Amino acid sequence: MSVVDKKYLETVRRQIAAYEAARREVIKLAGDALSASKRSIFALHRDDRDGAAALLAEAESGFARVRQAADKIPDLVQEGSYRAALEEYVEARLYQRFLDKGDIGEVTGRDIDYEIFLSGLSDLTGELQRRQVRLATEGRVEEVGRIKEAIEEVIDELTAMDLGGYLRNKFDQAKNNLRRAEDVLYEVTIRRK
């Protein structure tokens, strides 16, 4: 006589196997979506708006496929690779909006929570600072100042939230981007005189 309910444990084994197979698929899909989002940012740095839009659509398609898997196994939306891909996507969308409209606002998506949004927002400051350097080399001083002000406004908003943990690390990186943006503006202003 066995003390272990083997029939139940077989059910558990099947559940684990199904989860692991779905998890591997989510990791692959998320990796592809992250790559597409990252490449869209590079396209935006080259002022290739159409290319960036196509890459973001590619990322969205990958997210839709992750959601199909997550509808069957809800825990998959907490998979780190998926969350990282969503962060990169938010960063790309925010950068796209800033270039198109000159402002920063909401990025919608079923699994975009406040942590993903704030991480993407913090990372956006790095992309803005990179753009600022490019503008400085082109002698577009007014725009260099506008980007520094945008980064400063993001930092002011994040400061008011008293972030901790992972978001605090992201916030600290964003503050470093502000410092670099201030340095670039200072250098460009001094050289003009």
Per-residue pLDDT of the chain (193 residues; tens, 9 = 90+): 678 888 999 999 999 999 999 999 999 999 999 999 999 999 999 999 999 999 999 999 999 999 998 888 888 899 999 999 999 999 999 999 999 999 999 999 889 999 999 999 999 999 999 999 999 999 999 999 999 999 999 999 999 999 999 999 999 999 999 999 999 999 998 887 6
Residue 40 near residue 92 (C-beta atoms within 8 A): yes
pTM of the model: 0.92
Secondary structure percentages of the chain, helix, strand, coil, to 5 = 85, 0, 15
Within 10 angstroms of residue 112's Cβ, the number of other Cβ atoms is 19
pLDDT at 69 (0 to 100) = 87
Alpha-carbon span 183 to 178, nearest angstrom: 9
Alpha-carbon span 5 to 137, nearest angstrom: 71
Backbone angles phi, psi at 109, to 5 degrees: 170, 145
What letter represents residue 184's amino acid?
V
pLDDT at 193 (0 to 100) = 66
What letter represents residue 78's amino acid?
Q
Alpha-carbon span 193 to 190, nearest angstrom: 6
3 state DSSP class of 141? helix
